[in-house]
Amino acid sequence: MQNALLYVVMALGISIVINLFLKRMGISQIIGYIITGTIIVYGFDLRYLNDSHVLEMIADFGIVFLMFTIGLEISLAKMGSMKLDIFGNGFMQVSFTTVVVYVGSYYLFHLDAKSSIIISLAFSLSSTAVVLSYLKSSKEIHTPYGKKATGILIFQDIAVIPILILISFLSNEGDESLYIILKDTILSAIFVVGLLFIVGKRVMTWLLHFSASSGVDELFMGSVLFIVVSASLLAYYMGFTYSLGAFVAGMIIAETKYHHKVEADIAPFKDILLGTFFVVVGMKIDVAMFLDDMGLIIELFILVLILKTVIIYGVLRISSTHATSLKTALALSQVGEFSFVIFALASTSGLLDTQLSQFLVLIVIFSMVITPFFISHISSIVAFFTKENDMGLDISSFSARKNHVIVCGYSVVGKFVTRYLDKIDAPCVIIDNSPKHVKEALDNDREVYLGDASKLSILNALHIEDAAAIIVTLDNIDKKRLICESVLKYSKNANLIVKVSSLEDKEILKDLDITVIVDSKVEVAKVLVDKMMTCNLRYT
């Protein structure tokens, strides 16, 4: 017990020191956790814990809480609107990558068919933990490339289930046919999802309502933890991964009015457990093997990175712009954490040589270590190769700008706003993330810039602290909230005017210190009555 506490305390202390140092260098804390795991396992000679089932379960729950927060972002309505990204792009990406990697493994590296299948399926997956952690922290999850990356990652996480079933079938440990296994799996999936949505939704809503109305934060947090763990265990006992149950639970809560509070309250637990996951990843690093085969590991990593980038870019280029396709492809070019599970199960089942499995794990780990270094610079990389500037801002032109009005969005409402600003001679600057809207504004001789108004760098370039007002005209409530959060974070005294179109939008924004919220329906009603009063009315 004392030794266990010592290891935990040392891990916490080492991770804090390393991450504080890396933070100053602008490096992701994921790297710090991985380095911590490696230091702990070699410093205390704990390599025998690499295959610890308890440690693996603790690490798995980091992914569980990550999948739960993803579910909170993806309601049924959103999933319906993202069906092309999830079931179209996601299916094509996994299929094409699997086929290409299989051909390379079987014909180029002369591996047997079963090993080639397992490697190709594992390498088709990307890192949900790394990519989504970055997209959520950087507020890029609602950008075009963020949405496409999220959609593909969701499909990959769903695809893990049939992949594990296939490995079980290939191991020939049971006498059941593939047809029976698939039939039982589909029936179990229908039962789990149906139970969670039909019965679980009512229980979850009641439990959250009861705990929220009590006014006790600990009770509400306890209810959320109970929901996540219960849904995860239900999925696990039905033969699926813990993550599936957590993801469905998140989707259900996303349909309720509590999802923003739940997401905020669960974040610390998710981050701590996700950190534990990466510590376990660090513990799996065989330093001696890595040093011996470092050249080959790096070469294969670069090969996989280029291969996945080309395939994902080709899949997305059919329906997306060049910049969005390239950003998404680079973001998903690494190999994901679920590959550890696949390689471990295949090795245990005798489908994969133990030495080969350890070598493949090193490639995955190296991939996950490198990814945080370049994922935050994807926009710069794309701008360099495409000669495009995502910001579209000449900062020098704003050096003396004061008392200007910043209009976020140049769709229908944005156009009318700028016309009325012209009538009162108020200087305005338009910022929009749509090339189409930017072109329309340029055609109308407007001062407009292409960029994401939720980015602090862009707010700084626009001298938002000296602006007379910021008017947000967007319709998308998620983007609207991101912009409001960024503006208020950058300048608490900003005059922020936001248009909403429903009571739900107003509810989502109510916790923010917005200067004025304009309800379009209420304002239309007022105008209708005002216009009525100007008519020649007759009362009978």
In this predicted model, what pLDDT tens digit does every residue of 347-400 receive, in sequence order?
877 888 888 888 898 898 888 888 877 887 887 788 777 654 444 444 444 555
Q: What is the pLDDT of residues 303-319, one digit of tens each?
A: 999 999 999 999 998 88
Other Cβ atoms less than 10 A from the Cβ of 349: the count is 16
Predicted confidence at residue 470, as pLDDT, reads: 92
In the structure, what pLDDT confidence band is assigned to residue 520 with cuts at 50, 70 and 90? confident
Predicted confidence at residue 394, as pLDDT, reads: 45
**How far is residue 43's CA from residue 57's CA, in Å, rounded to a whole number?**
23
Token couple for 280: 């376990």
Q: Range with the lowest mean pLDDT among 25-29, 113-117, 128-132, 371-375?
A: 25-29
Predicted confidence at residue 401, as pLDDT, reads: 67
Residues above pLDDT 90, as percent of the chain: 14
Q: Residues 512-522: what's their mean pLDDT? A: 86
Q: What is the pLDDT of residues 100-121, one digit of tens each?
A: 999 999 998 888 888 899 999 9
**How far is residue 92's CA from residue 152's CA, in Å, rounded to a whole number?**
9
Predicted confidence at residue 93, as pLDDT, reads: 94
Domain with residues 50-175+271-386, CATH architecture: Up-down Bundle (1.20)
**How far is residue 488's CA from residue 325's CA, in Å, rounded to a whole number?**
31
Residues of the chain with CATH 3.40.50.720: 395-533
**How far is residue 300's CA from residue 188's CA, in Å, rounded to a whole number?**
38
Q: Up-side HSE of residue 368: CA atoms within 13 Å toward CB? A: 36
**How far is residue 381's CA from residue 388's CA, in Å, rounded to a whole number?**
10
Q: Residues 467-481: what's their mean pLDDT? A: 88
Q: What is the pLDDT of residues 59-97, one digit of tens each?
A: 677 777 777 877 776 666 667 777 888 888 999 999 999
In the structure, what pLDDT confidence band is assigned to residue 123 with cuts at 50, 70 and 90? very high
Q: Range with the lowest mean pLDDT among 100-104, 321-325, 433-437, 494-498?
A: 433-437
Residue 131, CA distances (Å) to 109, 330, 528 in order: 29, 10, 49
CA nearest to 70, candidates 145, 161, 155: 155
Residues of the chain with CATH 1.20.1530.20: 50-175+271-386
Residues above pLDDT 70, as percent of the chain: 85
> Which residue, chain included where needed, has tokens 């109510």?
510
Q: What is the DSSP letter of 404?
A: P
Q: Is the dihedral of CA 463, 464, 467, 473 positive or negative?
A: positive
Helix and strand counts by DSSP (H, E) for the chain: 26, 6
Helix 144-170 with 53-73: angle, nearest 10 deg? 140
Torsion of CA 111, 113, 118, 124, to 10 degrees: 90
> Which residue, chain included where needed, has tokens 């993202």?
82
Gyration radius from the chain CA atoms: 26
Helix 178-195 with 217-237: angle, nearest 10 deg? 160
Return the bridge partners of 519, or none: 500
Residue 324, CA distances (Å) to 331, 369, 522 in order: 11, 24, 37
Please tell me whether residue 140 adopts helix, strand or coil conformation. Answer: coil
Other Cβ atoms less than 10 A from the Cβ of 255: the count is 15
The CATH code of domain 395-533 reads 3.40.50.720
